[in-house]
Structure 1
Amino acid sequence: MIRTRRLTLRPAEPGDLPALHAIFSDTEVMRHWSTPPDETIDATADRLEGFMRGERELGPELMILHEGHLIGRIGLWRKWEVGYILARAAWGQGFASEALEAITAEAFARHPDCPAITADIDPRNIGSGRVLEKAGFDVTHHEKNTFCINGEWSDSTYYRLDRPAP
């Protein structure tokens, strides 16, 4: 568990299902995600099961809570890549920046072999790009047509945050 000034980041729990489904079934929230929105609560339940099993190689997905309410999730996977998603009602309030700062600091502290943390976003997701840049991530490159959701191709912009100097 990680606590910040306004947030609690904790492992997923079974009771998270309704709030997670609201996030992962929202077409606007999922607009720039690498999978389509969950059409059923069973699809979100499968996603939640994976989160609870800790299927990510670098640790469990962490749920983002504000004032006791689940507003998103953040996690590390694929050799030091971070990803996050927030409920639409939580956008624009600095929660993603706060959670990202906390998880990157934790990753560098726990994993001395981690030289950098990366991220991959749809370049149309301007808000997420701002979050990454605010956290000190730099753009490394762009690639075209990296994933296709419901027949629509999306590009990727890749970011990197180097380990802070000692």
Structure 2
Amino acid sequence: MNPEVTLRPFDLADLDDFYVWASDDQVSAWCRWDTYTSKEDLLNYMKNDVLLHPWMRAICYHSRPVGAISVTPYTGADRCRGELGYVLASQYWGKGIATKAVKSVLGTVFRDFEGLERVEALVDVENVGSQKVLEKSGFSKDGVLRRFWIHKGKVKDMVLYSFISTDPLV
């Protein structure tokens, strides 16, 4: 399957589509944020975080937003690294959409951030689907970080993945 997947900046007009996955407990189970139960709260998040993020895009399937993907660059001595994050509406899981979105990001983000050499992704050890997305996208599994963070009240192990730029250091 070769889904029609594109990436574009978010707009406040995406609120209703964004709410589809942001209000889904299946989706938010893997996210840092809790399930949204109010469009007003989600609108505030979009205004204060999403639209101000240095590199966050809507994952669009046939031109309709069905998820989000971001790369957050580190600063200072860590500026050669950035962290990838993505979320996809549960009804689109298993269709190759997230994999295509991640590959698309990797095709552009090294040019978008000067000095970026490595993109990292942290995935809950229990989130096998997301691990498969990263592996299909060319990420390497660096290892398991034991008792790495507290997520929704539970101490969790995380898998660290990385993708290294193929361009030589300048």
TM over 0.5: yes
For 1:38, the aligned partner's letter is Y
State the match for 1:131 in structure 2: 133
Alpha carbons of structure 1 residues 148 and 39: separation in structure 2 relative to 1, 3 Å: farther
* Aligned with 2:56 (options 52, 57, 61): 61
> Structure 2 matches for 1:7-46, cutoff 5 A?
7-46=5-44
Distance 1:150 1:111 in 2: 32
1:151 Cα deviation from its structure 2 partner: 2.4
Shift of 1:45: 1.3
1:91–1:64 Cα change, 3 Å = same
Q: Distance in 2 between matches of 1:123 and 1:42?
A: 33
- Map residues 96-135 of structure 1 onto 2, 5 A cutoff: 96-135=98-137
Question: Who is 1:74 aligned against?
Answer: 69
Q: Percent identity among equivalent residues?
A: 24
Quick check: 2:99–2:133 contact (8 Å CA) kept in 1?
yes
Equivalent residue for 1:51?
Answer: 50
CA distance in 1, matches of 2:152, 2:164: 34
* Amino acid of the structure 1 residue aligned with 2:40: D
Say whether the 8 Å CA contact 1:74–1:84 is kept in structure 2.
Answer: yes
User: Equivalent residue for 2:156?
Assistant: 154
Are residues 43 and 99 of structure 1, via their aligned partners in 2, closer, same or farther at CA, if it must alter by over 3 Å? same
TM norm structure 1 = 0.87
Q: Structure 2: which amino acid aligns with 1:40?
A: S
Tell whether the 8 Å contact from 2:84 to 2:121 is kept in structure 1 after alignment. yes
Contact preservation (8 Å) 1:34, 1:147: no
Superposition deviation, residue 152 in structure 1: 2.8
Moved over 6 A (4+): none
2: CA distance between counterparts of 1:42 and 1:146? 32
Cα gap change, 1:144 to 1:7, in 2 (>3 Å): same
**Distance in 2 (alpha carbons) for counterparts of 1:39 and 1:142:** 33
State how far apart, in whole Å, the 2-side matches of 1:154 and 1:31 are.
Answer: 13
CA deviation after TM superposition for structure 1 residue 112, in Å: 4.7
Give the unaligned 5+ runs of structure 1.
Answer: none
Give SS of 2:28's match: helix
SS for the counterpart of 1:33 is coil
Cα displacement (A) at 1:46: 2.1
Q: What SS does the aligned partner of 1:53 have? A: coil
More deviation in 94-103 or 108-117?
Answer: 108-117
Measured on the aligned residues, the alpha-carbon RMSD in Å equals 1.9
TM-score by length of 2: 0.85
